[in-house]
Amino acid sequence: MSLTNEIFFNTIREVILISRQKVYRSVNFVLLETYWNIGKLIVEEEQQGKGRAVYGSNLLKKLSKELTLEFGKGFDYTNLTNMRKFYFSFPILDALRQELSWTHYRILSKIDSEEKRTFYLNEAVENSWNSRQLEQQIKLLSFERTLNPISKKQNISIHSVLKDPYIFEFLGLSNDAKNTEFQIETAIIDHIQKFLLKFGKGFAFVARQKHIITDTSDFY
């Protein structure tokens, strides 16, 4: 393929990819809007019942049965419960982010703290996390690790940073042992190597150290 034809092909390809992305976001938001509205209607109906807990459970079971008969999968008791939580956690429809999928919001709705939900939502959008990455970050307690940042008034040094027990836990080193600079360096490089290899093609781990020669000495 000539350079001109390749440029032409890539231009057309880009148009198709952008269009598909727009369609996905449009369909995704319609799905979110539908589930949000269902959750809203469920909550409003529950609030009219006298015994809310019992009434709500029976309501969802009956509704699930009827919706499944007419519309098929996607409206079982568990999913209706998730829609209810979705509305409770994100009561403002216009504030929903189109970049996030229903799976993202289903995971976020399980978080009780509004502050934590907002943190993970913003991080997921900013870093383009898929739902699996979002779930992993929650398991790694990313929010909790930002609660006590080092004060700007403190003298920050590499020694104070490396005293953080989370760092040693991440590197697989003991908090109690006196870790040498070489041990810490080796552990860090091991994690970097494993991280890069997960990306597959297009990424390469070249070397653990680079040999640099000067007029007077050798360095790594």
Q: What angle do CA 109, 138, 91 make, to 5 degrees?
A: 20
Task: Tell me which residue has tokens 């539908």.
Answer: 34
Paired with 213 in beta bridges are 218
Query: Is the per-residue pLDDT at 142 higher than 90?
Result: no
**At 219, which helix (H) or strand (E)?**
strand 218-219
Query: Is the per-residue pLDDT at 92 higher than 90?
Result: yes
Distances (CA, A) of 158 to 54, 164, 174, 183, 184: 56, 10, 17, 15, 12
- pTM, whole model, 2 decimals? 0.61
Closest CA to 163 of 192, 137, 136, 171: 171
Q: Quick check: 120 and 138 in contact, CB under 8 A?
A: yes
In a 3-state reduction of DSSP, which class is residue 157? coil
What integer pLDDT is reported at residue 96 of this predicted model? Answer: 94
Q: Quick check: 58 and 46 in contact, CB under 8 A?
A: no
Closest CA to 149 of 137, 134, 138, 161: 161
Q: Look at 101-115, 161-175, 202-216 and tell me which has the smallest mean pLDDT.
A: 161-175
Q: Quick check: 220 and 209 in contact, CB under 8 A?
A: yes
Q: What angle do CA 197, 203, 204 make, to 5 degrees?
A: 75
Query: Is the per-residue pLDDT at 183 higher than 80?
Result: no
